Chains A and B, each alone.
Chain A
Amino acid sequence: MKVFKIFLDIEKEERWLNEMSDKGYTLSSKFFRYKFDKTETKDRTVRVDFRTFKSKSDYIDYKLLFEDSGWKYLAGSRNSGNHYFEKVLNEEVDDIFSDEFSRVAKLKRYTTYWAFYSLLILIATSGARGITTNPKELFLTPGLWDRVGNEFWQAFWFEVPFVLLRAFYSYGFILLVFGYIYVTYVSAKRVLKNRVTQV
């Protein structure tokens, strides 16, 4: 079964994957979309980690540490960021983290990654993006605003779709910034909610 779904909240994604696992669907690959296999084994704990690796040997060592510890590597690749694991050993440990510090560190890696790429896109497109506060400047038809009546409206509506594209290009980064703020906010909220008082 293939499912297309986008999550900004990595913890929400983990909960959804566990619901799928309860129904007997095991994740078999993730590349834009989720691919599931129907299996007999239900109700296995699924955990998502977030990390990128400097080298292939780092990535192999990482996967082996999890597999040695009883976590089957379901999906991911060296640069995928998200790594999906399923618990296969019946031991009391049912999480890939055993303290708050490392749990929060995962969310930090996730939000930093997001912020970095948002910023990169913002910088990469800034040259081509004339930022304007006057919506009239988004219309490029020469002398458009001097025209009147039918002639004006015809030219106006003709250009509207292009203006919308241009506006998205100019202001799209604002969406990215809000996306980042949302991700950070949700992560922080979850961490605070789950926070264990440490003595």
Chain B
Amino acid sequence: MKKNKVLPLTETTYYILLALLEPAHGYLIIQNIEELSNNTVRMAAGTMYGALENLMKLKYIKLIDNEDKRRKVYQITDAGKDILNQQYERYLHIVKVSEEYLVR
């Protein structure tokens, strides 16, 4: 597999991509991440705005049409799903090796 510069994804990037398997606007993503992470990840507005901008540049997410014309609604792309899966595999590996050492 070719080495990807964006890997490993940060925890917040991972959660954003995970949340965007369903279409959502910025604040909804913040709320969904809070829920997904058991309130351990609370993203601030400025950080979320910048993160969405970066992910758009990388083409991991895209804009989709919605009724609310004023709030932009995003969804993950195929390239985004691919990178999310790669990170998922990395997490699985981390869990697997940790179990060998930690859980004895």
Q: Which residues of A contact B (CB under 8 A)?
A: 47, 49, 57, 60-62, 64-66, 68-69, 71, 92-93, 95-99, 101-102, 105-106
Contact = CB atoms under 8 A, between A and B. Distances in A.
B72 interface: yes
Interface string B15-56: 000000000011100100000000000111111111100000
Contact of A96 (B10, B25, B44, B69): B44
Given A69-B45, A95-B46, 8 more contacts: A57-B69, A60-B70, A64-B71, A65-B27, A71-B45, A96-B44, A98-B42, A101-B10
A49 B46 contact: yes
B12 interface: yes
B63 to A, nearest CB: 10
A15 B27 CA distance: 27
Contacts of A68: 26-27, 45
Contacts of A71: 45
Interface of B: 10, 12, 25-27, 30, 42-51, 69-72
Given A68-B26, A68-B27, A61 B72 contact: yes
The 9 residue pairs across chains A and B that have the minimum distance between CB atoms: A68-B27, A96-B46, A98-B44, A65-B26, A69-B45, A102-B47, A66-B45, A61-B72, A98-B47
Contact of A61 (B10, B26, B44): B26
A40 B49 CA distance: 31
A75 B12 CA distance: 29
B45 A65 contact: yes
Contacts of A47: 46
Contacts of A96: 44-47
